Amino acid sequence: MNYKKQALYNTVGNLVYMAALWLISVLIVHITGFEDAGVFSIAMSVGNVFFFIAVYGMRSFQGSDSLYQYSPGEYCTVRWITTGTAALCLTGYLLFAGYSFYISAAVIAYTLYKFAESASDVFFGELQRVGHLEICGISMSVKGVLSIAVFSAVLFVTKNLPAALLAMVLLAVAILIVYDIKGYRKYCPEKLTAKKEKVLSLLREGFPMLLTTVFPIVVTAVPRLAIEAYLGTEVLGIYSSISTPTVLITTLVPNILAPFMTLFGHLYHEGNLKKLYRMLWVSLIATAALGAVACALAYFLGDFVMGLVFGKEIVPHLGIFIPLILATTVYAFSMAANSVLISIRRPAFLTAFSAAALVLSLIAAYPLVERFGQMGAVWAYGLPFAAQFLLQLVFLTVALLFPRKKQTK
């Protein structure tokens, strides 16, 4: 398998998709204003939590399942179960969240859009195992471009954010049926079958990875919810608009690493732990370089570009831009470390390190935002991931350089 080629396909597709979501947030500001941008931020913050419940942390695990411990049918069955569970959890959350009908409708529509992505993702995981991530790259690119066109047209005509998001849902479902499933069948024609005991085993084994993916999303959401509580929806819209470009970092890193998960799995099963540790450091150095480039661009071009895109009223708030990039880079460090932890099958430590970050966020976010405003939200975002990464790095150094005698199954 050509891992670099697969990484390129996966990265380009996901970059186009994430760029589309960023452009959508820009269009909202220009078409209906920062108030709707704040509503969109709430929809994304809440919807992403339930999206990650739906995907159950399975993509990296599925991609690194080089020995085919579980069949494609078992991964698909688990995905239908987890998506249904996520939908029920979303319903319960909205019943008690106290949002207005407008905000609730936006949250539901955005989450349904992400559920369609969850369905595509399980097929992409199988295509990754057989070396055909070009299907994923093309699908995500097309979805991103068409989402911009559909969303902007409906929002311009209706001035209604939930309606525009619902149009994106219909588009995503169409792409899933017409292209994603068809592409999967081309390279994976075998019938999808699942054994009950294997499905239950996969659900048990995947639960720590669910927590590992959901906890960081909550960590990123809590400071935003604190801003909404103390500073209002409009300020949240400004904060979200500034932070949106930083998502490029947390999109690039996991998507570049995703195709290498199969290789990481092979290295672990072969007992080549020192090479795996070297690859961890390569990914960390590359992530740091990406963060440094982003900081340089923000320093020299941030005021001009962000003012041009969002309007001059956002410029006085750009003092948080570079700190947000640094915090996001630290978050990406923890993502890279998680990739290796998943490959060496350490679910308990995955959960423990992510839980530590979550606890720190829940304790610190509201007091920091109350006292320091938007900059407090940046600290509440970055510090938990810094603590998590330090714990991960210490553990992986010991586990990979000083392993016990029996490391492989």
Nearest to 126 by CA among 88, 194, 74: 74
Q: Quick one: pLDDT at residue 345?
A: 77
Of 99-103, 225-229, 324-328, 405-409, minimum mean pLDDT range: 405-409
- Average pLDDT on 238-259 reads 85
60: pLDDT strictly greater than 80: no
63: pLDDT strictly greater than 80: no
Confidence grade of residue 14 (pLDDT, cut at 50, 70, 90) = confident
328: pLDDT strictly greater than 80: yes
Q: Quick one: pLDDT at residue 130?
A: 84
Mean pLDDT of the chain: 91
- Average pLDDT on 356-369 reads 96
Q: Quick one: pLDDT at residue 160?
A: 97
Whether the CA torsion 122, 124, 128, 132 is positive or negative: it is positive
- 3-state SS, 59-115, equals HHHHHCCCCCCCCHHHHHHHHHHHHHHHHHHHHHHHHHHCCCHHHHHHHHHHHHHHH
Angle of helix 321-343 versus helix 247-257 axis, rounded to 10: 20
- CA-CA distance, 103 to 335, in Å (whole number)? 30
Q: Quick one: pLDDT at residue 405?
A: 62
- CA-CA distance, 391 to 108, in Å (whole number)? 36
Confidence grade of residue 409 (pLDDT, cut at 50, 70, 90) = very low
Q: Quick one: pLDDT at residue 261?
A: 75
Enter the pTM of the model. 0.78
1: pLDDT strictly greater than 60: no
Confidence grade of residue 32 (pLDDT, cut at 50, 70, 90) = very high
Confidence grade of residue 352 (pLDDT, cut at 50, 70, 90) = very high
Position with higher pLDDT, 49 vs 181: 181
Position with higher pLDDT, 67 vs 380: 380
End-to-end CA separation in angstroms for the chain: 24
pLDDT tens across 366-378, in order?
999 999 999 999 9
- Average pLDDT on 338-356 reads 88
* Residue that is written with structure tokens 């699942």 in the block: 194
153: pLDDT strictly greater than 70: yes
Q: Which of 12-16, 21-25, 118-122 has the highest mean pLDDT?
A: 118-122
- Average pLDDT on 329-348 reads 90
- Average pLDDT on 142-162 reads 97
pLDDT tens across 262-272, in order?
778 788 888 88
Q: Quick one: pLDDT at residue 190?
A: 85
Angle of helix 196-230 versus helix 72-97 axis, rounded to 10: 30
Confidence grade of residue 392 (pLDDT, cut at 50, 70, 90) = very high
- Average pLDDT on 38-43 reads 92
Nearest to 60 by CA among 309, 296, 346: 346
- Average pLDDT on 356-374 reads 96
